[in-house]
Amino acid sequence: MRALRAQVRSYYSRKIERHGSTPLGVDWPNAVSQHLRFVQLLKICDFTKPFSLTDFGCGYGALLEFLAMRHADCPVTYRGIDISPAMVAAARRRWSDRPDDATFVVGSRCPDVTDYVLTSGTFNVRLGRPVAEWKRYVETILTDMQRKSRIGFAANFMLPHDQGRTEQALYRTRPQPWVDFCRKQLGCEVELLTDYGLREFTLLVRCPRTPLSPKAAVRRPSRPSRR
């Protein structure tokens, strides 16, 4: 995975350096579609009480801005992580006046256990890597998200074209393989969201309240008690 991660890191670093802290800087065409994705992903969260959240592939922190705009009445402890040092540097500059409830780190795995983990667009750009290799990469990230979320996690994927054509640079998939992975391999409950105006789908994945059976493919670690 080292070469793959290096390619992803380089790709997104070039994007933010070219376009700055804008949707184009994280490879989205505009803020409208970016915000529509956030609406779907955040349906996993319970905004009736404070919670902690990891934004995996956080870019320049656009999700933090959206939370402040749409959910300012709910305290959220935000943790942003991105594989690109240039992205994290941009996020830290943009949010330098935030208190300790918002932090950004460089990495390819969630650093801490939080109530929720979200990722938007992380699985879309496979940069010509073999599909089988990219699937293993996605499985690694989803497994890490499950292990590091107390309550649940959410992710989005692009749907295939009707004509069945593929693009070397992109990863498109039907929902069922990833619904099955989250249910059978991760032992979670899965809600599938589609038909929200974009050619993609979102998975809302709720973690089991009890440890998985020893026969499960992925074991959940013990979790610290909530503060």
Determine the structural domain holding residue 156 and report its residue range: 2-206
Q: Is residue 219 part of a domain?
A: no
**Prediction pTM value:** 0.87
Task: Determine the Cα–Cα distance for residues 57 and 40; give it in Å rounded to an integer.
Answer: 16
Task: Determine the Cα–Cα distance for residues 185 and 188; give it in Å rounded to an integer.
Answer: 8
Residue pLDDT, tens place only, 143-185:
999 999 999 999 999 999 887 666 788 999 999 999 999 999 9
Residue pLDDT, tens place only, 50-75:
999 999 999 999 999 999 999 999 99
Q: Is residue 22 part of a domain?
A: yes
The radius of gyration of the chain's CA atoms, rounded to the nearest angstrom, is: 17
Q: Is residue 213 part of a domain?
A: no
Q: Is residue 211 part of a domain?
A: no
Strand intervals (E) in the chain: 51-56, 76-82, 102-106, 114-119, 149-158, 189-193, 200-206
What values do phi and psi take at 60, rounded to 5?
Answer: -90, 10
Tokens of 214: 């020893």
Q: Total structural domains in the chain?
A: 1
Percent of the chain with pLDDT over 90: 72
Q: Is residue 221 part of a domain?
A: no
Q: Is residue 50 part of a domain?
A: yes
User: What is the pLDDT of the chain when averaged over all its residues?
Assistant: 88
CATH number of the domain within which 65 lies: 3.40.50.150
Residue 216 confidence (pLDDT): 35
Residue 208 pLDDT level (bands cut at 50, 70, 90): confident
Residue 11 confidence (pLDDT): 86
Q: Is residue 224 part of a domain?
A: no
Asked if the model's pLDDT at residue 212 lies above 90, the reply is no
Mean pLDDT in residue range 112-125: 96
Q: Is residue 33 part of a domain?
A: yes
